[in-house]
Amino acid sequence: MSSASKVVIACLDGQRLKGFVFNFSPLRDTFRLFPEPTARQDSGTDVQLRNLKAIFFVKDFTGNAERNDSQELKEGAHGRKLEITFTDGEKICGTSEAYNPKKVGFFMFPADSDSNNSRIFILNASVRQARNL
């Protein structure tokens, strides 16, 4: 197996799942979430993209609940600058080099480089509005 990515998965029902993924691809309808980076293949749980709001690729699971990420994009940031409003009202600002509302989803890099999120895969079905900044 290749190296594991630490993720926090935001489900449409409000549930949050934490674990590890290997070789995530938005081209597949499902992926496997593992409890540990060295877990056996049969210990993973299949997750369906249609049940998700977003997949947060995180630096650590703990994070800092009191920290508010900056929503200001720095000059020179690569990609299309976007403010995403989810159907539940949450807003995230960042950049994307592959935003296309006709696809299943897209990767976005948070505006705040010190965010616990290194990147986010956002499901278009959970987006109310995508606004260019």
Rounded to whole angstroms, the Cα distance separating 79 from 43 reads 37
pLDDT digits (tens, 9 = 90+) for 42-92: 889 999 999 999 999 999 988 777 777 777 777 767 889 999 999 999 999
pTM metric for this prediction: 0.91
- Sequence-distant (6+) residues with CB within 8 A of 114 are 69, 70
Rounded to whole angstroms, the Cα distance separating 51 from 41 reads 22
3-state secondary structure of 7: strand
3-state secondary structure of 104: coil
- Domain locations along the chain: 1-60+69-133
82 and 108 Cβ atoms separated by less than 8 Å: yes
Question: How many Cβ atoms from other residues are within 10 Å of residue 121's Cβ?
Answer: 19
Dihedral pair phi/psi, residue 40, rounded to 5°:
-70, 155
The CA dihedral of 7, 8, 12, 15, to the nearest 10 degrees, is: 140
Is residue 117 pLDDT above 70, yes or no? yes
